[in-house]
Amino acid sequence: MRIRCPSNEEAAAKERWRRVLEEDRTRLLLHHPFTASLALQLDVIPVVDSRLRSAATDGRRIFAHIGFLAALSPDARLFVLAHEVWHCVAGHFVRRFDRDPHAWNLAADHEVNALLQRDGLAMPGDAVYFGWLDGESAEAVYDWLHGTDAPPTAGMVQFDDHAPGGAAFGRPASGDAPMSADAAQVQDPDFTPQAGGEALKRDWQERLATAVNRSKGRGNLPERLECLVDSLLRPSLPWRTLLQRFVQRTYGGARSWHPPSRRHIYRKLWLPGMRGQLLRVMVAIDTSGSTSEVLPRFMSEVRGLVGEFDRIEITLVECDAEISRVRTLSATDDVDGPEFMSILGGGGTDLRPPFELAAKDPPACLVYLTDGFGPIPESPPGFPVLWVMPDDESDPPPWGEIAIIAA
């Protein structure tokens, strides 16, 4: 296969489209200043490249094929620009984990498109959007898609490639014909997508927080975006739901929707069943003096966790300045009596001892119920960590996932 760079004519067209895209970003600033403030964090790069047939973002830049741009109306271009921005804000490039890529891409597109429609952008009629799931997270939409034999996606178009440099999902570039075996493949040196990661996700959370503070001061943060922004900066889901997804990601293919857990069928909840694999979780509870008022809530949540899974072993660690007690719980244990609710502690705070204990026999994940006021390990351990915190006044750690107990 022959490979060539963009021709002089294509390079000149790229430069024209670069100016158009900058004008689009200015237009976005006039009508949607909050989204535009986030768009300014990304370089917008028109390309001519056989590996990209639509648009894409790697969390640092937005790439768009000039043929694809030429096929869009000005309003549709604005929509695509904002679409890429919110993929970055929502962290879709690190939220997929081991999910099926195609179903996840559809779910992520729905989440973004529903948001943009609520923000007043004109959504193209063929965009991915399931009206009955408006407002649902990408994870919830994915669960629906993955459990549906024939989801109604006919006629829906994805406006971007979620795997830039790999298989594309978007419209073909305008005027492009299928490449023959001896056709030259165009590789644009400006098309250099890079992999994202947790560090990039944290960068976007910081950018989002900065944009929120500025926009609230200027009064230009739309109310219709506030709930979404708050959920991105500090998840507000009931933590048990978050843990369920967290554990699914940890186990990957070891968990399946078929057969479902019989424990929850009477509640019409089709939760994934465990196929013979014991879920080993360490739960550490901060029993220091600063958590005395929320300890009953912490213990209630542990009780609920015991009942969420059919095959679970919980190593329950009570710790203030040091570990005071370690208990082992399973789904068959009695967690309703006063003995379970009794706890030891009430002294100072050191959040590090449970991590030292876990390092000796790493669990599937460590769930730490705390207000966050105390020393933690300088770097994350080799197993996933979920911090469960009581309210917005908690001190969130710099690593690990965070869930807020719903009031």
- Residue 348 has which token pair? 């100072």
**Helix or strand holding residue 214 (H, E):** helix 198-218
Of 63-77, 177-191, 291-305, 321-335, the poorest mean pLDDT is in 177-191
- For 283-312, the DSSP string reads EEEE-SGGGTTTHHHHHHHHHHHHTT-SSE
User: Which of 84-93, 291-300, 388-397: highest mean pLDDT?
Assistant: 84-93
- Residue 399 has which token pair? 């690593």
Is the pLDDT at 318 greater than 50? The verdict is yes
- What share of the chain in percent tops pLDDT 90? 38
Is the pLDDT at 60 greater than 90? The verdict is yes
Residues 33, 87: Cα–Cα separation, whole Å: 17
Is the pLDDT at 168 greater than 60? The verdict is no
**In the 3-class helix/strand/coil scheme, how is 7-54 assigned residue by residue?**
CHHHHHHHHHHHHHHHHHHHHHHHHCHHHHHHHCCCEEEEECCCCCCC
Measuring CA to CA, how many Å separate 170 from each of 109, 143, 162, 387? 12, 23, 9, 38
What value does the mean pLDDT of the chain take? 80
Q: In b/e form, how buried is each residue of 153-175, taking b as 16+ CB within 10 angstroms?
A: eeebebbbbbebbeebbbbebee
Count how many residues are written for the chain. 407
Domain extents for the chain? 3-201, 239-404
Q: Is 22 exposed, middle or buried (0-12, 13-18, 19+ CB in 10 A)?
A: exposed
Q: Please name the residue that has the structure tokens 């013979």.
A: 276
- Residue 160 has which token pair? 């971007």
For residues 91 and 405, the model is more confident at 91
CATH superfamily of 239-404: von Willebrand factor, type A domain (3.40.50.410)
- Residue 341 has which token pair? 């609710």
Mean pLDDT of 76-96: 90
In this prediction, residue 304 carries a pLDDT of 74
- Residue 367 has which token pair? 């769930």
Residues 242, 45: Cα–Cα separation, whole Å: 36
Residues 84, 36: Cα–Cα separation, whole Å: 11
Helices (H), 73-146: 74-90, 92-95, 101-118, 138-146
- What share of the chain in percent tops pLDDT 70? 77
Of 103-117, 119-133, 166-180, 268-282, the poorest mean pLDDT is in 166-180
Mean pLDDT of 374-398: 82
In this prediction, residue 298 carries a pLDDT of 82
Q: Which of 229, 201, 248, 194 is nearest to 95 (CA)?
A: 201
What 3-state DSSP class applies to 181? coil
In this prediction, residue 402 carries a pLDDT of 79
Confidence of residue 198 (pLDDT cuts 50, 70, 90): low
HSE-up of residue 202 (Cα within 13 Å, Cβ side): 10
